[in-house]
A and B are shown apart, each in its own frame.
Chain A
Amino acid sequence: MSVSEPRGAALAAQGHLPSERIALVDLLDRLLAGGVVLSGDLVLSIADIDLVQISVRALIMSVREKETADDGEPLVGS
């Protein structure tokens, strides 16, 4: 997937953020509610657990901890 195409090149370059600059919450939307879902032969049956619920809980817990620690500086955000 070349980024050197004439149209949209600047946009693609600008939009193609290094992994560490992507907001974790946007990434988790995709990694936990997107991607091919497989079942069978897996060590953890993804169908059995609500990954989104789990991640939201983890994120919210962490945001709360961080807020109490340093006065509401948001942890996530781009």
Chain B
Amino acid sequence: MTNETGTYLYAVAADLGIPVPTGLTGVNGGAVRGIAQGGLIAYVSTVPMDKFGEGPLRTSLENLDWLGRTARAHHHVVDAVAETGPAAPVRLVTVYSGDEQVKDLLDRRGEEFLDVLTRVAGRREWGVKAYAEARKPVEEPAGARHGGESPGTAYLKRRQASLQGQEQDRRRAAAVAEEIHDALTAFAVAGRRHRTQDPQLSGRRETMLLNGAYLVDEERGEEFARVVDGLRGPGVELELTGPWVPYSFTMLEDPAGGEGTADERL
């Protein structure tokens, strides 16, 4: 084992001269400190490389206890920092070999960080998940066996109808998801769809149709919740989470070329 350490980066914010919240600790219990450079401040903590080096990280990321602990510690820091002003959160497990490299980063990409900070200032992210209510199984119509069909033919017809029904359901679900996403994006500053969660992870039996994130002006949060309420309808259940620090809207690249499907209206 070595005694090497690395610099774990949580978020970047405009350097407003506000001290780092006292007693704030991050991943692995490390004390959070600020690295200021060129009008920006990077919130970091020191991590041991025997846990945060490439090899150990690859293994640890597949350990749910570690992943959960680390994600919550990361989020805790981002949340605390965002309380003091606009912050651009950085993706989980972004580790530099030292503080100098973080300073370099702020030098090289300062402009882009400022762009992100401008975009998220005074705004919060809301999550909206839409679930399809479980479909009733296709019932065999009473007296289905008419017209002297052989049981085999009747079975094939039923099976075909059921497959067509499933296909129709899928298309209808996709259309509903699209509609909800469009309506929410139209109200929000920007919208983005995350991949839908596996039922094993969402802890629900219903199929998730939409896992959306919406960037909303802080003072319009309540209004946004009402728009969500207005979209609730038979067959579709909506779940609202947030407000979140705008994690889903911090792509540095041009939104058009960025990952995911970001519908920006800036």
A: which residues have CB within 8 A of B?
A: 1, 5, 7-8, 11-12, 15-16, 19-20, 22-38, 41-44, 46, 49, 51-52, 54-64, 74-78
Contacts and interface: CB of A to CB of B under 8 A. Distances in A.
4 pairs of A and B residues whose beta carbons are closest in the complex: A77-B203, A34-B247, A74-B203, A30-B247
Interface in B210-266: 211, 213, 218-223, 225, 240-244, 247-252, 259-260
Contacts of B124: 1
Interface string B5-32: 0100100100000000000000000000
Given A19-B75, A34-B91, A58 B67 contact: yes
B89 A34 contact: yes
Interface residues of B, number: 74
25 contacts: A1-B85, A15-B240, A22-B75, A23-B241, A25-B202, A26-B127, A30-B247, A31-B247, A33-B194, A34-B249, A35-B89, A36-B90, A37-B91, A38-B90, A43-B6, A43-B49, A51-B92, A51-B93, A56-B198, A58-B63, A59-B200, A61-B64, A63-B200, A77-B202, A78-B241
Given A27-B71, A31-B92, A43 B57 contact: yes
Contact of B94 (A38, A54, A55, A74): A38
Interface of B: 6, 9, 12, 49, 52-54, 57-58, 61-64, 67-68, 71-72, 74-76, 79, 82-83, 85, 88-97, 101, 104-105, 109, 113, 116, 124-125, 127, 194-195, 197-198, 200-204, 211, 213, 218-223, 225, 240-244, 247-252, 259-260
Given A1-B82, A31-B92, A59-B64, 13 more contacts: A15-B241, A29-B211, A30-B213, A32-B91, A38-B90, A38-B109, A41-B101, A42-B94, A44-B58, A55-B61, A58-B61, A58-B64, A78-B241
